[in-house]
A and B are shown apart, each in its own frame.
Chain A
């Protein structure tokens, strides 16, 4: 207090009660998030990837194709969109280290868990809203295209088996075939569409967590791509006995199950149920962010 009394001039701005907390930090992160052009570009890029691949995968269906899972078919662009989304998640924190902004951020909000929490809230909320809008849009557009093309789907085990073996089911055999387009009222469809958005948002946060640990943009993007793209390739190359045991734990395969209406394609092997898989994915994300928070608090900025 003596120090305060030594300063003769009362300064212009009055101190509000309380202290810098999560609410203020969120307001700051929100402004920060939208004030660089890359944010919008990444979101647009994700949208173009999801919608573009949706149009491509549904628009190129020919009458002889049997669509195993029309919902998944319309959401397949997520595999590309997730990469761009991941880059955005990485940049939310790695750009701060790359540009030195982290020093300004941490001098304004010195309690580091508060900073990371604010980033999680802002990016997580945007990610979830954008993801769900994208997956519902892709579903709607994709199903409209499939329906317009009178696409043929399979709902029976025989038809699925036939497709698996490469045997074409004659076009006229409608008994064992369903419509090649899905509606939200059908079993598992709403869950798959919602799940696709949840998967995308969770991956974005996983990328944010990796970047909090790694700090460098290029390194964090590499790690993210390694986890979602390269790991599945490696696992697929392993003997079946190993890959069957491991594949179900991979985020990409969890995602595949989440946006399928009735299980993943056979090539994935044994898989967790959609919600068990999602719980696991959330666990990965929480642990990654937790480790990120731990190192953030212990390292020099």
Chain B
């Protein structure tokens, strides 16, 4: 359980996190979604007591991070891809953390085995690939067998297999009753991993909702239509106020009209439909919501 109340953070004149309040509950994966630079990492660091909030509070299991008696046994954090000295071995890094929190030495080998780093445990971490570094970070997070897990962009730099591994791991951890808080700037990834979402943009709360509701709320639903009479239907749709985009596979995507409306329209002009599928574009929903809140936009 993580509870943020009025959490704010400023860096100089820049407001990085602006009055965020949210709950992250145990037993589900909560996605922390927002464009790059929207304040996700800063919020994660404030939860772990690394950055000090300008105002507001955040507690883990009802306590401030500083007041947790054995932090690594309560909270596991993967904050940066590599927060390890390149000259130190994976085992020594974990052993250091284990000793600080009175975690048995055997647990170090256990988590190394779990993330599949046993064979390279004695090698200097500087030689690790991005994926191995990420696995080591996850091993460190799991070291104290904590009930609360924070993963900041855990799939960054991972290959598809690694991404699937992280996704499965998050669900498994939540299934065990743990609180899992995963940040990402990729909506599609969150849709596959998370049950709930905390969506922020420019440090401000945009939505705190379930993934299903988030999608349903999106106004930019589109409908995929396949018909033997594309020109007729497309004219009718345009006249009814919709927009048609012809897709390369011969189908067309209609926006501005719902699936039932398109179906009724086709029926009224006696045009057969071979396919009528409502498509909720998560990326679109995300883009729409965060449109006003994108800190750094490309030159397009």
Report whether B61 and A35 are in contact in the complex, using a CB–CB cutoff of 8 Å: no
Report whether A20 and B69 are in contact in the complex, using a CB–CB cutoff of 8 Å: yes
- In B100-135, the 8 Å CB interface with A consists of 100-104, 107
Chain B residue nearest in CB terms to A106:
B50
Chain A residue nearest in CB terms to B179:
A7
- In A1-56, the 8 Å CB interface with B consists of 1, 3-4, 6-9, 11-13, 15-16, 18-20, 24-25, 27-28, 31-32, 35-38
Report whether B26 and A104 are in contact in the complex, using a CB–CB cutoff of 8 Å: no
Interface size, chain A (Cβ < 8 Å)? 43
Known: A7-B177, A35-B89, A107-B77. A13 touches B69 (CB 8 A): no
Q: CA–CA, A7 to B149, complex, Å?
A: 13
Known: A15-B70, A100-B80. A24 touches B85 (CB 8 A): no
- Residue B289 lies at the interface, judged by CB distance under 8 Å to chain A: no
- CB neighbours (8 Å) of B75 from chain A are 107
- Residue A108 lies at the interface, judged by CB distance under 8 Å to chain B: yes
Contact indicator per residue, chain B 50-72, by CB within 8 Å of chain A (1) or not (0): 11100000000110011011111
B9 to chain A, nearest CB (A): 9
Measured as residues with beta carbon below 8 angstroms from the partner, the interface class of chain B is 35 or more
Across the interface, B100 reaches (CB within 8 A) one of A36, A95, A109, namely A109
- CB neighbours (8 Å) of B73 from chain A are 11, 13, 15
- Residue B92 lies at the interface, judged by CB distance under 8 Å to chain A: yes
Chain A residue nearest in CB terms to B65:
A110
Chain B residue nearest in CB terms to A91:
B85
- Residue B257 lies at the interface, judged by CB distance under 8 Å to chain A: no
Chain B residue nearest in CB terms to A301:
B50
Chain B residue nearest in CB terms to A103:
B83
Q: CA–CA, A300 to B61, complex, Å?
A: 23
- Residue B48 lies at the interface, judged by CB distance under 8 Å to chain A: yes
Q: CA–CA, A11 to B72, complex, Å?
A: 13
Return 14 A-B CB contacts under 8 Å, by A number: A7-B26, A8-B27, A11-B73, A13-B73, A15-B69, A15-B73, A16-B102, A20-B101, A35-B95, A102-B83, A103-B83, A104-B84, A106-B49, A107-B48
Q: B: which residues have CB within 8 A of A? A: 1, 25-27, 45, 48-52, 61-62, 65-66, 68-73, 75, 77, 79-80, 82-89, 92-93, 95-97, 99-104, 107, 140, 144-147, 176-179
Q: A: which residues have CB within 8 A of B? A: 1, 3-4, 6-9, 11-13, 15-16, 18-20, 24-25, 27-28, 31-32, 35-38, 95-96, 99-111, 298, 300-301
